[in-house]
Structure 1
Amino acid sequence: MRYKSLFLLFAVFLIGGLICGIIHSVNQVNQNEETPKAKLRILTAGSLMVPLSEVEKAFEGEHPEVDVEIEGHGSIQVIRHIIDLGEKADVIFVADYSLIPDLMFNRKMPNSTLPYADWYAKFSTNEMVIAFTNKSKYANEISSDNWYEILARKDVKFGFSDPVLDACGYRTLMLIQLAEGYYNNRTIFETLISKNFNPTFFVESDEGDSNYTIYVPQKVNPKTDKVVIRRSSILLTPLIETNSIDYGFIYLSVAKQHGLNYIKLPPEINLGSEGQTDNYKKVRVEFQFHRFEYIPAVKTRIGLPIEYALTIPNNTPHKKVAIEFVEFLLSKKGRELFYKNYQKIYEKPEMFGNTTEITEMRLKVG
């Protein structure tokens, strides 16, 4: 009888424990269902992945109800994810500010009179460098005076990003063409670019040889393994680090973030000096990619100083949170995280476009 009583008592405790556990689980599920995290989707130029990842952690620390998801692509591809592939994003960042007005201002969203975006903020800058490691061929010889001769050597491999997809790619072409004038050598582009691709890139100049147009073939196809092309400039860094290529054309901030050696290039060609704007404008890139036929504005990219821009697309699913993220990024905390990761950022962003929308957002910075 005593054992029976003990058994019944044990059973009561067991059942009671199970019931409490079930109630707790149900309550937990209800709590989770009541407070789902808002997913903030960010599409960015790959060169901003490192500083934005730091901003993401800090922002989520102050906003535990938000889950920030960041995807890195070439800048043109960032925008095409929205206007061509029909995807939605809450904030986008590009390494060439002009892509936003050129691609998004005049494209209407489906079933809407609104464009995909009607404002943007310029907020950061950079410059082009040639990155390498101590194991790169002729690492002890290369300099800002002879880099084009080193890259031309038969046993040297170098890389840059696809100009059809990535701003760093078409800036590499501009840089190399500008180098011909700076170094007074009219064979640099032909030696490094034209003869290494099939179909080839070709350059036209005006009568005074003062302005140049670089024509990019529909298919960017290296003829040999001397030149390597990747979809985004950040995909070159592991190739440089593992010595799969000797040198890569990337941004200064990315080289510093990855601890790579780099050649600082003259301001006349590095696309990082506002004082050289008129010089940079002498070079333009013309795409022959058939998908750009319906977007005439993107077919031609003009040489300009490197400036990054951001916008919140008009079809953002989480506008309020997107504004909060942008405000955090442009605040003192956000700027410090950019400085920490070698990414220059303006004290105050420069706003362009629909001023009514910008005012209504009450974008606070400081």
Structure 2
Amino acid sequence: MIKKLIPIGIFLIIGTVLCGCTEQNSNQNTTQEKMVLKIFHAGSLSVPFEEYANMFEKEHPNVVIEREPAGSVACVRKIIDLGEKADVLAVADYSLIPQMMMPKYSDWYIMFARNEIVLAYTDKSKYSNEINSTNWYKILEKPDVKFGFSNPNDDPCGYRSQMVLMLASIYYKNPKIYENLILKNTNIKFKEENGTYIILVPPNIEYNTNRILIRSKETDLLSPLEVGACDYIFIYKSVANQHHLKYIELPKEINLGYYEYKDIYKKVDVKLLSENKTIVGKPIVYGITVPTNAPHKEMGIEFVKFILEHPEVLEKNGQPAITPAIAKGNVPEELKGLVKIEN
């Protein structure tokens, strides 16, 4: 009887092990079978896109979303220069898509959200108890104050910050503002042609580190600000709200947030000398597309549709949604009912 039990026991042990292996392999296969949807997006979209990703994965349990936030120009360059592939591209300046992506890497885009530039600070910032919407540039001019902006070569918030400061010189009728803050502290230059102020940004920006802090994207400025390594930063209003920062709202004529002031904004251009590309001042509008070489094009379109169907996520995160969103190009059929198509 004992001899008969031994083989049975061994059989049961082997069976248990095999079942365990089968179950483990099954779990591995299930994980491997999930579609990985890769999204390149502007750093300023990190908070709402994290929420969108969580919501989308709940509705699509077979999908895992990988987000790669970066400066918008850097996001585009990963696709067109480095050969990386993304299923969705969302940038903080919609014009980057027609200028840099079309027609080879994209044949449509949607303008889906707005924003504006503010000057953010904390209680640790020097003169935080004095600064207001009328004296902010005078505070920045103080020699013991350090302020930051993102790299104009990498990030729309960076070149928009330059536009804001130049527009401030125009609005306050004080050319010394841009001179004192930028020209004296960096190798950025400018010239005037036919009433337009053209800011010339070199490929490698040199700057006075005692007065200025520059990072690749605007969200990289948050930690230095919060620990007191920097006193003030130019950043999107939505990001300031999402991170519960104090901020100065700048005049509508200079903050790039209002369509009705578009004729004033376009008085300032930024020329990126590294690409010989000129960016015209205009209201801040976000753009989104699915690249033509997206590995999962249909699911990418589904994610864009999901965003358009849930504008409340953008709204509660301080980024006013454009409703209906404005689309241009060869818009996918699945999206046409959610957008206003313009030629």
Residue 29 of structure 1, aligned match among 25, 33, 57: 25
Residue 184 of structure 1 corresponds to which residue in structure 2?
173
- The CA deviation at 1:353 is 1.2
- The CA deviation at 1:343 is 2.0
- The CA deviation at 1:14 is 5.1
> Does residue 78 of the first structure (1) align with residue 75 of the second (2)?
yes
Aligned length: 338
1:190-230 alpha-carbon deviations (Å, 9 max, x no partner): 10001101xx22221235xx321111122111133210100
Residue 231 of structure 1 corresponds to which residue in structure 2?
216
C-alpha separation in 2, matches of 1:341 and 1:87: 29
C-alpha separation in 2, matches of 1:363 and 1:25: 48
C-alpha separation in 1, matches of 2:284 and 2:319: 12
**Greater Cα offset, 210-219 or 12-21:** 12-21
| RMSD between aligned residues | 1.8
> Does residue 52 of the first structure (1) align with residue 49 of the second (2)?
yes
Residue 318 of structure 1 corresponds to which residue in structure 2?
296
C-alpha separation in 2, matches of 1:138 and 1:78: 36
1:329-344 matched pairs, under 5 angstroms: 329-331=307-309, 334-344=310-320
| % same residue | 44
Report the residue type matching 2:329 in the other structure.
Answer: G
Q: Which runs of 5+ in 1 are unaligned?
A: 107-114, 294-298
Residue 302 of structure 1 corresponds to which residue in structure 2?
280
1:306-342 alpha-carbon deviations (Å, 9 max, x no partner): 00000000000001111111111111xx322222222
SS in structure 1 opposite 2:33? coil
Residue 116 of structure 2, aligned match among 127, 132, 136: 127
- The CA deviation at 1:15 is 3.2
TM-score w.r.t. structure 1 length?
0.88
Distance 1:363 1:71, change over 3 A: farther
Report the residue type matching 1:71 in the other structure.
Answer: E
Residue 65 of structure 1 corresponds to which residue in structure 2?
62
1:1-366 matched pairs, under 5 angstroms: 5=2, 9=5, 12-13=8-9, 15-30=11-26, 32-33=28-29, 36-106=33-103, 115-197=104-186, 200-206=187-193, 210-289=195-274, 292-293=275-276, 299-331=277-309, 334-355=310-331, 358-359=332-333, 361-362=334-335, 365=338
Task: Work out whether residues 111 and 327 of structure 2, in 8 Å CA contact, stay in contact via their aligned partners in 1.
Answer: yes
- The CA deviation at 1:364 is 5.3
Q: Which runs of 5+ in 2 are unaligned?
A: none
Task: Work out whether residues 327 and 363 of structure 1, in 8 Å CA contact, stay in contact via their aligned partners in 2.
Answer: no
Distance 1:336 1:14, change over 3 A: farther
**Greater Cα offset, 215-224 or 14-23:** 14-23
- The CA deviation at 1:11 is 5.9
C-alpha separation in 1, matches of 2:337 and 2:67: 22
C-alpha separation in 2, matches of 1:81 and 1:38: 21
TM-score w.r.t. structure 2 length?
0.94
Task: Work out whether residues 305 and 335 of structure 2, in 8 Å CA contact, stay in contact via their aligned partners in 1.
Answer: no
- The CA deviation at 1:240 is 1.0
**Greater Cα offset, 70-79 or 21-30:** 21-30
SS in structure 2 opposite 1:347? strand
Task: Work out whether residues 106 and 292 of structure 2, in 8 Å CA contact, stay in contact via their aligned partners in 1.
Answer: yes
Task: Work out whether residues 90 and 312 of structure 1, in 8 Å CA contact, stay in contact via their aligned partners in 2.
Answer: yes
1:105-153 alpha-carbon deviations (Å, 9 max, x no partner): 14xxxxxxxx100110000000000000011100011111111110111
SS in structure 2 opposite 1:243? coil
- The CA deviation at 1:8 is 5.3
C-alpha separation in 1, matches of 2:118 and 2:127: 17
- The CA deviation at 1:12 is 2.4
- The CA deviation at 1:44 is 0.3
Task: Work out whether residues 38 and 67 of structure 2, in 8 Å CA contact, stay in contact via their aligned partners in 1.
Answer: yes
Report the residue type matching 1:95 in the other structure.
Answer: A
Residue 111 of structure 1 corresponds to which residue in structure 2?
none
Report the residue type matching 1:202 in the other structure.
Answer: K
